[in-house]
Amino acid sequence: MISKRNVRLASLGAIILALVISGAFGIQQLSVTRANQSASQATTVYTQRFLTLYNKIKNPTNGYFSSLGIPYHSVETLIVEAPDYGHETTSETFSFWIWLEATYGEVTGNWQPFINAWQTMDKYMIPSHADQPTNSGYNPNSPAQYAPESPNITDYPTQLDSSVAVGQDPLYNELVQTYGTSDIYGMPWLLDTDNWYGYGHCGDGTTKPSFINSYQRGSSESVWKTVVHPECETFTWGSSNGTGFLSLFNKPAPGGSYSQQWRYTDAPDADARTVQAAFWAYTWATAQGQQSTIAPEIAEAAKLGDYLRYGMYDKYFKTMGCQSPSCPAGTGKNSATYLLDWYYAWGGALPSAGSWAWRIGASAAHQGYQNPLAAWALSSVPALEPKSPTAPSDWATSLQRQLQFYQWLQSAEGAIAGGATNSWNGQYGTPPAGDPTFYGMSYDWEPVYHDPPSNNWFGFQAWSMERVAEYYYETGNTTAKSILDKWVAWAKSVTTVNSNGTYSIPSTLNWSGQPSQNWTSSSTPVTNSNLHVTVVDKTSDVGVTAALAKTLLFYAAKSGDTASRTLAQTLLDDMWNDYSDSIGISNPETRTDYNQFNDSVYIPAGWTGKNAQGATLNSSTTFITERPKYLQDPNWSKVQAYLNGGAAPTFNYHRFWAQADIAMAMADVDILFPSSSGTPTPTATATTPTATSTPTATPSPTPRPTVTPTATPSPTPRPTVTPTATPSPTPSPTPVSGASCRVQYVITGQWPGGFGATINITNTGSTAINGWTLKFTFPNGQTVSQGWNGSFSQQGSTVTVTNLSYNGSIPPGTTLSNAPGFNGTWTGTNSPPTSFTLNGVPCSTS
């Protein structure tokens, strides 16, 4: 496995140390008293909480790590969100572990755990040369063959098309010259830690851990629709006709055939977070005079950032502004988005099948993946500047582009809308008329995945803004401050703290409108008065709460906003008091989405095969029949009871990323405010949420490509496979007897020619509604232009909305939490519909 150390700091030695301590190189000066506070700090309440939770995480009996020392996604095995099984591991998990150990080094002065975590990542999460053996056959002038994506899973496998021109890869030669290898230094996003699926290392069936993948079929392929497969395709499993799993995803170009191959997909947000963690480790170790102790790991973080630039490129290296597969192929760096896109992927032939390789980018950028702190460190901190000649300037450009991206996407309220794509529908299609652009990329409120919508989880807001806040804290950048000023005000307005020690923060968000301008290099920010966010429901999710608290703490430490610090510490206090348990911090989650264990997984008619768990795969496959080992899980009986008609099960989960973020948030109080050991005297309190909706706890996703209750992580397409939309099978609608439903139609925003609306559906009957179809008629000729949380169709003035996979069930006496909503057009008058039918029966509108 790759674990080489590129020690760049040794030759600079005392010169770098002197310059860093003096404040040169842009690192915020840390006082001598701060560097010597470790021992006394441990007596303060927040640092003690950090150490208490840290020790719980590291206690082997609590189950956070495998027997090989690899952190699990969660302690619990039965959990389905981005990974489909709790004892899988993600690059996200590794990034949070490394960040946790950096914080431990700051608190205690002991950097060995940080070194151990990095070395474990090198050993298990970075593919060795043997795992990517044919990179030398890669041709940067022809990176990959084109295959269109589709928003319909029934269009898969899609056809490879060698007639579509692809651009040039401008990074390959530079990286080979810099590092002397054709291999890539990056983390594939998903690892089967204990070989639960049974594929083993490169198909040997037994060795653990093993690289696996799931998302391959487009924007609506939720976790419930995935077919998990090995990243080393030996044709041992999969189709009975000897094509492995490849024939589920693509068809060879005419005259071609399927080949045994290896392939990996990187989630750029996780690699960037790892660089972010390394920056803090370097900053804190330098203040302690221990920077040489971790110099090899810091050099490898710079190397990680060098290869991370592949996450800045259009999928097929085409120029910005593509609206047709025939759009120009890129040359040089004119195919760069300079944003952290959703993934990059690479692969090639197994040696027995030839010597060829490929690489692709992603085309789509999500606000939740951006990391200006990492971009700044990779362009401005010498110890972290990558070795490749153009890398520091690339990251400097990326830093400015990311800040502009936030400005372009900031809603009237302050939240950050979804993102942009250079390949509409994954096939370089034509976006809707009037869709605004960012350096040619088209606005997309739900970039990448749609089931559920990728920007409806508040966690992406907190994660992303926490990075902006760290960058602001380090540099005082005025653009970052202006973004944060507005975002923090909104976040505080929709956060509630109660006198009884409870709290709630946003969970699900809805969006309407769009940015007000086409952003170019000469643009200046304007208020997006027609771009709006609405809080649909709320939660006490502990991981997201920690991310929000960290954002508020870093913002307060630089701006002097005592109210933000007060709110952050109040949230941390309430969380600690309400949700501490024997192994960590966890709030109960009721998982109504677990009715999808029985959902169909689309497999084309006539395709049959088996996976390594022994499951038969065919057109009758469901999520649970694909994973028969789940039937042996100690918690399966709770899910089975729900599937048999009982109440939705409730679980307490201990996700590694959440526990690490909570611990770090506690430590940050004393790191940022070292003279304090308690909550400051409150000068302001959080206000009541702007949206009136019943607080409901929703589970935390992992992102990646990873993090929503059933959020899809980073899809990992091969050059020929693109993440696709899986239409969620609609359950047989439950008949609605009598007036047992109520509909509330709410116009959430209106502007000349356009408007946004939400439709709240309440089950007023005594039996559950399992699957619904809502119909209504517009009175003034309005039209639906974009919908979410439902499948919308319109015939004349009549609109039909059907549920998606995650919001088909409405228990008696409850209002649907993921309410359908849409953006529409109108002229003259915009009166609301006056009658609604649900599953063919009229609903009350009172």
Instruction: Kindly tell me if the per-residue pLDDT of 7 is higher than 80.
Output: no
Instruction: Kindly tell me if the per-residue pLDDT of 723 is higher than 90.
Output: no
Structure tokens at 708: 């929503």
Instruction: Kindly tell me if the per-residue pLDDT of 8 is higher than 70.
Output: no
Strands 250-251 and 158-159: parallel
Instruction: Kindly tell me if the per-residue pLDDT of 807 is higher than 70.
Output: yes
Distance (Å, whole) CA 799 – CA 776: 5
CB atoms within 10 A of CB 334: 16
Strand order in the sheet with 89-90: 89-90, 190-192, 210-213, 229-230
Instruction: Kindly tell me if the per-residue pLDDT of 5 is higher than 80.
Output: no
Lowest-pLDDT range of 501-515, 591-605, 741-755, 769-783: 741-755
Q: Which of 388, 183, 421 is nearest to 318 (CA)?
A: 421
User: Where does the pLDDT of residue 821 fall: very low under 50, low under 70, confident under 90, or very high at 90 and above?
Assistant: confident
For the chain, what percent of residues have pLDDT higher than 90? 80
For the chain, what percent of residues have pLDDT higher than 70? 87
Catalytic: 92?
Answer: yes
Lowest-pLDDT range of 368-372, 414-418, 812-816: 812-816
Catalytic: 76?
Answer: no
Q: Identify the sign of the CA torsion 135, 137, 142, 144.
A: negative
Mean pLDDT of the residues in the chain: 88
Phi-psi domain of 126 (left: phi exceeds 0; alpha: psi -120 through 50; beta: other): beta
User: Where does the pLDDT of residue 754 fall: very low under 50, low under 70, confident under 90, or very high at 90 and above?
Assistant: confident
Distance (Å, whole) CA 652 – CA 579: 10
pLDDT given at position 561? 97
443 backbone dihedrals φ, ψ, rounded to 5°: -60, 135
User: Where does the pLDDT of residue 578 fall: very low under 50, low under 70, confident under 90, or very high at 90 and above?
Assistant: very high
User: Where does the pLDDT of residue 25 fall: very low under 50, low under 70, confident under 90, or very high at 90 and above?
Assistant: very low
Distance (Å, whole) CA 640 – CA 651: 14
Mean pLDDT over 131-156 rounds to: 96
User: Where does the pLDDT of residue 656 fall: very low under 50, low under 70, confident under 90, or very high at 90 and above?
Assistant: very high
Mean pLDDT over 486-499 rounds to: 98
Q: Which of 734, 828, 727 is nearest to 778 (CA)?
A: 828
Instruction: Kindly tell me if the per-residue pLDDT of 618 is higher than 50.
Output: yes
Q: Which of 344, 297, 290 is nearest to 317 (CA)?
A: 344
pLDDT given at position 826? 86
Q: Please list the residues that pair with 759 across neighbouring strands.
A: 745
pLDDT given at position 676? 54
pLDDT given at position 92? 98
pLDDT given at position 740? 87
Among 269, 561, 573, 626, which one carries the catalytic annotation? 269
Among 84, 92, 306, 661, which one carries the catalytic annotation? 92
pLDDT in tens, 504-549: 999 999 999 999 999 999 999 999 999 999 999 999 999 999 999 9
pLDDT given at position 753? 79
